[in-house]
Chain A
Amino acid sequence: MKKLYILVAMLLVSITALAQDGRSLYNKYSDYDNVEAVYISPAMFRLIGKIPDVKMEGENVNLGPVIKSLSGLYILSIKQGAVADELAADVNHFIKKGQYELLMEAKESGEVTRMYTVGDDSVVNSFVMLSHAGAETNFICLDGTIPRDKLEELIADAAKD
């Protein structure tokens, strides 16, 4: 009987861990006061994918291949001390639980920005960017089956311009 309890407990813990994603954070914080929240659904990404020329304004960077592979975009921007700190802590928790890999970290005038990805060598299933500075936290989460080479190429090209 002990084995049964252990099995059920492990199952519930793993399912709860799976439930911690960009969506759950968005649902938790998007209704707070002084929070800017943006969500773009898979259906909207399909519509965007039908726009004929999806290039970044003023730059020769084609977003098309990456946009078609996206299935969700969650943005939260909080400029309110305690809640901003809570969001940063929650994101860090979900990063650890989700086995995200640190892509890069940049520090500038007290602002710490970290980028994380989870997936394999060829596909990124989720990209997270977290910026935290004093009383402000910005969280961006892109979900999908994004070809890693296309994403890296896109970011590198845009950074060059």
Chain B
Amino acid sequence: MKSIDEITRLSAEDLERISLDESIPVPEELSARVQAAVRKPARWVLPAGVAAAVATLVAVGLTLTQNPEPKDTFDDPYLAYAEVEKVFAKISGTVAYGAEKVSQSEQTLDKLSYWK
């Protein structure tokens, strides 16, 4: 009898040839042993899957109905663009303020290190 290591080293062609070789006896209890080795899924898996799918559908449905897409504030893309521009100006203004503070701190640190 071959060991598992020997079997894993066999090529697909070798495995096919051996499986077709009727001179090799098949143990009588092999089929029963294979069936016993294959674990049946737990009984709760199927109902759990169904329940999870139903819950997903319900949750997605609730999310879509309770959180609809709002109505556009602007009908004119130029007005909408002007608003986007304002938003970026605001964001940039905050970043500029932060950058200025960092620069001031660096200057203060430079002065302190100069006097040391």
Contact = CB atoms under 8 A, between A and B. Distances in A.
Nearest to A106: B98
B74 interface: yes
B80 A4 contact: no
B89 A63 contact: no
B48 A7 contact: yes
A53 B91 CA distance: 21
B98 A104 contact: yes
Contacts of B80: 40, 44-45, 47-48
Interface string B78-102: 1011011101111111111111010
Contacts of A140: 87, 90-91
Contact of B48 (A4, A54, A158): A4
Instruction: Count chain A CB atoms within 10 A of each CB in B78, B90, B92 and give the residue with the most.
Output: B92
A45 B60 CA distance: 26
Interface residues of B, number: 40
Interface stretch (B3-11, B18-26, B63-71, B105-113): B63-71
Contacts of A113: 94
A140 B84 CA distance: 11
11 contacts: A12-B59, A18-B63, A41-B69, A43-B72, A47-B77, A104-B95, A106-B98, A106-B101, A115-B91, A154-B88, A158-B92
